[in-house]
Structure formats: structure tokens, C-alpha cells
Amino acid sequence: MKKKPKEYADIPGTIVFDAEQSRMGYAINAFCMSLMKEENRKAFKADEAKYLKTWGLGADQTEAILKRQWNRLLELGGNIYFTSKLGATDGLSFRALAARMTNSTEEGYAAMMLAGGRSVKGNRTKAEWEKKNG
């Protein structure tokens, strides 16, 4: 049976955390939630690769965590609210994390959000975005 394309798959720069993403990222999100406990944060920081081996992560998921590839974590099923626990473990505020994910400075990200966020002009579909950004 052919999968029906998702109506929201054409939004540029957006990964919608739906049931499929949730299933795909279960191990990422479980790992990130483990960082809520101080003893787990300490164990992770002591030997990140060793700690990750206990979570059933795929190689690409492990690499994204170790290299702190924030957007890749979302592509692999991570939920921003869970992955922010990893950022917090590294001492990053949510604003700092969002700035990194948007290739911006914290001040630039905050200014964009205070001004109403990213303009929808040229950003409604991936085709529009490609045309605008080449």
C-alpha cells in the first residue's frame, strides 16, 4: 500500500512531530528524558558514547547526539521539548538552542521572534522557498 503524502510535508524548515516521527524517535526521546535525573546527566557527561549504548539508538541517532546536530535530531524523530533536555545538560538555554537550530545568534533569534517570527512570504512551500533562496 502506497503511503499518502502528508499535507504538511511541504512546509520549508519544519518537521512536524507526528505519530510516525514519534515511533522513529522513541529511543532519542527516551534518552533525552533520562537527562532529567542528575545521576543520568553525570553518567552521560562522564562517557557519552558508553551511556548512549544503553538506549537502543541507531548509528545515525547516536552520531546526531554526540555531534549535537540539533536539526538532525528532529529529522530522526526527536521532539524539540525532549531534545532541549540535552541542550540544558550542555548548559544551553532554549533560546540558545533555537538560535543554533536557525543558524542565528541568540539576539538575532530573539529579535525575529519578538518581531512576529519568520515571515510567511516566500516560506509557505518548499518550492516557494527554493525560488526565493535558490
Q: Quick: pLDDT tens for 30-81.
A: 999 999 999 999 999 999 999 999 999 999 999 999 999 999 999 999 999 9
**Domain segments of the chain as ranges:** 19-103, 105-134
Would you state the pLDDT for residue 127? 72
pTM score, two decimals? 0.85
Grid cell digits, residue 92: 544551553
CATH number of 19-103: 1.10.700.10
Separation between Cα atoms, residue 56 and residue 42, nearest integer Å: 20
1 pLDDT band (50/70/90 cuts)?
low
Amino acid 72: pLDDT: 96
Asked if the model's pLDDT at residue 6 lies above 90, the reply is no
Task: Output the average pLDDT for the chain.
Answer: 90
